[in-house]
Amino acid sequence: MEKMRLNKYLASCGVCSRRDADKLIESGDVLVNGERAQAGMKVASGDRIEVRGKRVSLPEEKVVLAYYKPVGVVCSERDAHAGRLVTKEIGYHRRVTYAGRLDKDSEGLLLLTDDGSLIDAMMRGRNRHEKEYIVKSERAWEDGAIEHMREGVYLEELGQTTRPCEIERLGEKTLKMVLTQGLNRQIRRMCETQGYRVKSLKRTRVINIGLERLKPGEYREVTGKEREELYRLCGMYDRK
């Protein structure tokens, strides 16, 4: 293992998020080779890392999950006001984190992993990774509105103009949209600029991973060539 920032190491071990790791380090709950850890320090493969007296280490094999998030499940690890949290709903035996949120009212594919480097690669906007959605509105779509969204629209609430995107009409009220960015509630906001309200929104693909035959609440492990292709498209070597 090359030297790694301690907060990233703890997150990769499945202890907690990087932000929470920083808090653990600051509170003195982390020891490196018997000494109190310092913020920003890096660790190597031979170092002994302890959190509150318990030794932690990187899992030998990383996992990637494809999960069908149902409507009503919240993408958060902690939210006192949320009744259903994604990490509790999935109930996986190892700590995994989602890469790219879906809002509470949306459903579909969510990728989760314990590989922090993969999450970082997937979340970099400049990589322009594709995400595919099926969008149903309350009224029939006009060609002009679709073309405006294809070209990119200005979202006043966010102060940004969306990138050009692919849009295919599947029915009078149904569109397939392929985006290469992930602004907050982007599709709903894009539709609102054209005077349309989204009735339902489902994500069906992230990069090369599809929803396949998953039903709401189900998940599957991403393995084999599908997994290798995901890492390749993210510019990474699959460490498994």
Answer whether 111's CB lies under 8 Å from 9's CB: no
Distance CA 112, CA 99 (A): 6
Q: 64 to each of 36, 118, 125, 144, 146, how far by Cα in Å?
A: 33, 9, 20, 40, 34
Asked about 143 being catalytic, the answer comes back as no
Give φ, ψ of 172 to 5 degrees: -55, -40
Instruction: Write the DSSP symbol of residue 193.
Output: H
Q: Are 100 and 131 in contact (CB under 8 A)?
A: yes
The DSSP 8-state label assigned to residue 78 in this structure reads: -
Say how far apart CA 152 and CA 193 lie, in whole Å. 11
Q: For tokens 């293992």, what's the residue?
A: 1
Distance CA 229, CA 168 (A): 25
Options 20, 47, 103, 238, the catalytic residue: 103
Q: With contact defined as beta carbons under 8 Å apart, do 163 and 131 qualify?
A: no
User: Which residues are known catalytic residues?
Assistant: 103
